[in-house]
Chains A and B, each alone.
Chain A
Amino acid sequence: SQTIHQWPATLVQPVGSPLSLECTVEGTSNPNLYWYRQAAGRGLQLLFYSVGIGQISSEVPQNLSASRPQDRQFILSSKKLLLSDSGFYLCAWSVSSSYEQYFGPGTRLTVT
């Protein structure tokens, strides 16, 4: 069966520090991968999605970036965090021929 992992689970970082969040999927090949952010009391905002290695589409211009160095690995990064980057970050995957998305457990990021 397929599983999706995210780490770390929680992270507290000062403003201006770098960020790296990792997401990996097991049990499937060539998945579509997604990064979402969920701010407190708000819905999900799609940040990036990827249909293959090295193929990244950005939905919202911001100081975050994403990379997909391997088929089942998706990384969210920032060179300098802002207070507004605080939130709950969710990674998701889907089969390329399907709309159903399956979510990871999330990373709680607090920028201080």
Chain B
Amino acid sequence: AQSVTQLDSQVPVFEEAPVELRCNYSSSVSVYLFWYVQYPNQGLQLLLKYLSGSTLVKGINGFEAEFNKSQTSFHLRKPSVHISDTAEYFCAVSVPTGKLIFGQGTTLQVKP
């Protein structure tokens, strides 16, 4: 069965510093991978996705993620964060039935 583990529940970082949010997945079949962002009291917004091809995926708001099949990871990175990046971030993996399995989320806290 597929599963997703987000290794950090909270990540505090200062403004303009780089950040990495970690995501590991478990699956016996090929998967598609996603990162979503959720601002307070809002729905989830798709940041980026890996379906196939290049393992480095670029998304919105300056975020990127790298798919590493050997390490079964899909870590999210941004070279310089802004206060406005403060939000909850969810990693998700596809399952063959067409659904997504979500991680528990990582709260990114950007400090001035």
Contact = CB atoms under 8 A, between A and B. Distances in A.
22 contacts: A32-B98, A42-B104, A43-B90, A43-B103, A44-B102, A49-B99, A88-B41, A90-B43, A92-B44, A94-B98, A96-B98, A99-B32, A99-B34, A99-B94, A99-B98, A99-B100, A100-B46, A100-B49, A103-B44, A105-B42, A106-B43, A108-B41
Contact of A101 (B42, B100, B103, B105): B100
Interface residues of A, number: 22
B95 to A, nearest CB: 9
A-B pairs with the 4 shortest C-beta distances? A103-B43, A43-B104, A99-B94, A103-B44
A58 B34 CA distance: 23
A106 B100 contact: no
Given A99-B98, A99-B100, A105 B90 contact: no
B41 A90 contact: no
Given A34-B99, A44-B90, A99-B32, 6 more contacts: A44-B44, A88-B41, A90-B43, A94-B98, A101-B46, A103-B45
Interface in B15-52: 32, 34, 36, 41-46, 49
Interface string A17-33: 00000000000000010
B34 to A, nearest CB: 7
B42 A106 contact: yes
- From B36, B42, B46, B99, residue with most partner A Cβ within 10 Å: B99
Contacts of B99: 34, 46, 49
B48 to A, nearest CB: 11
